[in-house]
Amino acid sequence: MSEYPESIRKLARVLRGIGSFELQTFTGRLFFQKQVYLLQALGLPLEYSFSWYLYGPYSPDLTRDGFNLLPIYSKLNEESLPQEKQIIDHFFSLFGTRTGDKTWLEVISSIHYLNKKSSRTKEEIREVINRKIHSVTTEIFVEAWDILEAAELI
């Protein structure tokens, strides 16, 4: 039995599975939040609660756990469990190289969140995202929407 809580060990396994964990920069924290949000949307049972914030869905509990994990991350060498690995693989197959694109992760997680947590139409969601992320083109929005729709996430 580990001296660390299962929730922290699970988060460490997942982060090791996606291959990135960095909280020292704003971009690192944004990647962390959006990747975990999308993994949960795909069915990974991490049980973080997200709310709408400046850059889309945000979880203060996830931030707290991330910072608690930082000093012990290297000690937790467990590999992802088979069911976790399956969801992580699905994450990469759906989003491909876009998982390394900050704006893309912000757009796709925001579309998902707004679609699930509000009664906004597709056009209203596009308007909210355009106000928040000025660099988002119609093509990026439509591509992200289509991927979520094809994956039955919206």
The answer on pLDDT for 125 being more than 80 is yes
Evaluate whether 73 touches 12 at the Cβ level (below 8 Å).
yes
128-132 own/partner pairs: CB under 8 Å, 24+ apart:
132/54, 132/55, 132/56
Examine the pLDDT at 90 and tell me if it is beyond 90. Answer: yes
- Rounded CA-CA distance 122/142 in Å is 10
Q: What average pLDDT does this structure show over 118-122? A: 95
pLDDT digits (tens, 9 = 90+) for 17-42: 998 889 999 999 999 999 999 999 99
Give backbone dihedrals phi and psi of 39, rounded to 5 degrees, phi first: -65, -40
Handedness of CA 61, 64, 67, 72 (dihedral sign): negative
Residue 90 one-letter amino acid: H
Mean pLDDT, rounded, of the chain: 93
- Structural domain boundaries in the chain: 6-150
pTM given for the model:
0.93
Q: Tell whether the torsion through CA atoms of 39, 104, 33 and 35 is positive or negative.
A: positive
Comparing CA positions, the residue from 57, 20, 36, 35 lying closest to residue 132 is: 57
Convert the pLDDT of each residue in 31-88 to its tens digit: 999 999 999 999 999 999 999 998 999 999 999 999 999 999 988 888 889 999 999 9
Q: How confident is the model at residue 2 (pLDDT cuts 50, 70, 90)?
A: low
